[in-house]
Amino acid sequence: MAAETKIDPMHQFQIDPLVGGLEGPFAFTNSALWMLIVLAAIWLFMMGGMKRQLVPGRWQMAVEGVTGFITSMLATNVGPEGRKYVPWVFTVFMFVLIANLMGMMPFGVVPGVHAFTVTSQFTVTGILAVISFAIVLIVGFWKHGFHFFSLFIPHGTPKPLLPLIFLIELLSFMVRPFSLALRLFVAMIAGHILMKVFGSFIVSGLNADGVMGPAISLLSFAFIIGVSALELLVCAIQAYVFALLTSLYINDAVNLH
Amino acid sequence: MDLEAAKVIGAGLAAIGVGTAAIGVGIVFGSFLESALRNPAAADSQQGRLFIGFAAAELLGLIAFAVAMIILYAV
């Protein structure tokens, strides 16, 4: 037997048009569909909890927990002025978190349904990072004018080192949107490839002859349960890190140093 | 050397970076725990910095992974 099962771990990231083709200005792809599903999930979650009851129920407590978490994150990192930026940081946190989790859900057990991780596309995470970066730039120049450039000169820099430090700080500032987007995108890609590779080990182990095949299958299955738990943790951590770094960058723009 | 073989070897070498990032992440969390157990009262206030350090260490490993993937699939 030993059927050659070649399972391509990159296939899950492929964008397929659901209606019509990829040509034309608007193409409804699986990526767009899953973004809408994520939005619907967030909308349901928020609508269920925004009843403003005096004595909150469980659902309202869950929603208030998340909003309170973001509000306190901005309060500690930015200060009292951070409240203005709660909507954006909350949006990005919820979108990234739910998109990450949606990609991990075992929708594949339903025939014909393929879960698609929206955040495994560099364009999506890139746009989120660019919006965060744009907010930092706009707020920075709006509040401080050209004084914003003093962000690139730390206090107490010796005069001879000024040009070099300025260049390095400018570079590290400009690289921020890339690092922000790349971190999320690669973390998601890496986790999903790992899962698919070990998933393919299970399948090819079952197809193989002898005792070793099923044994390897069983080992891979045990491993993949652990990896799934780790991936759920990574989903939450990446969303948290994205929101945390966004609030830190906003702090730079609001308070300079 | 065959190009295909060189690609695979290069991707394997790039994967070393992922392992070194694992050491970095371990150091970040290890030192956090070490100092948090010495002064548990101050631990909660440093959690943000913990995750910044974690994110920075992790990013470099992820870049190594991205390089390996580019070598394998994109070059």
The residue extents of the domains of chain A are 11-255
Over range A162-185, report the average pLDDT: 90
C-beta separation of B67 from B14 below 8 A:
yes
C-beta separation of A189 from B69 below 8 A:
yes
ipTM above 0.85, yes or no: no
The residue type of A54 is L
Q: Is A72 on the interface with B (CB under 8 A)?
A: no
Over range A46-67, report the average pLDDT: 85
Chain A residues 151-180 with a CB less than 8 Å from chain B: 179
Look at residue A3 and tell me whether its pLDDT is greater than 70. no
Task: Indicate the residue of B51, B54, B62 with minimum beta-carbon distance to A182.
Answer: B62
For residue A14, how many other CB atoms are within 10 A of its CB?
12
Distance from CA of B58 to the nearest CA of A (A): 8
Task: Indicate the residue of A179, A190, A237 with minimum beta-carbon distance to B65.
Answer: A190
Q: How confident is the model at residue A243 (pLDDT cuts 50, 70, 90)?
A: very high
Look at residue A19 and tell me whether its pLDDT is greater than 80. no
pLDDT at B13: 92
The nearest alpha carbon in chain A to B66 belongs to: A186
Chain A residues 8-27 with a CB less than 8 Å from chain B: 10
Closest alpha carbon to B56 in B21, B19, B20: B21
Size of interface A-B (CB pairs under 8 A): 35
A205 Cβ neighbours under 8 A, 6+ residues apart: A213, A214, A215, A216, A217, A218, A220
pLDDT at A197: 85
Q: How confident is the model at residue A23 (pLDDT cuts 50, 70, 90)?
A: confident
| Farthest-apart Cα atoms in chain B, separation | 59
Q: How many domains does chain B have?
A: 1
Look at residue B47 and tell me whether its pLDDT is greater than 90. no
Q: What is the token pair recorded at A157?
A: 């820099």
B25: domain range? 3-74
**Are residues B51 and A190, on separate chains, in Cβ contact within 8 Å?**
no
Look at residue A9 and tell me whether its pLDDT is greater than 70. yes
C-beta separation of A74 from A89 below 8 A:
yes
Residue A28, helix vs strand vs coil: strand
pLDDT digits (tens, 9 = 90+) for A101-126: 988 888 878 887 788 888 888 899 99
Distance from CA of B37 to the nearest CA of A (A): 22
CATH number of the domain where residue B13 is located: 1.20.20.10
Q: How confident is the model at residue A50 (pLDDT cuts 50, 70, 90)?
A: confident
C-beta separation of A183 from A238 below 8 A:
yes
Q: How confident is the model at residue A90 (pLDDT cuts 50, 70, 90)?
A: very high
Q: Which residue has the higher pLDDT, A18 or B12?
A: B12
Q: Is A75 on the interface with B (CB under 8 A)?
A: no
Q: Which residue has the higher pLDDT, A6 or A16?
A: A16
Mean pLDDT across chain A: 86
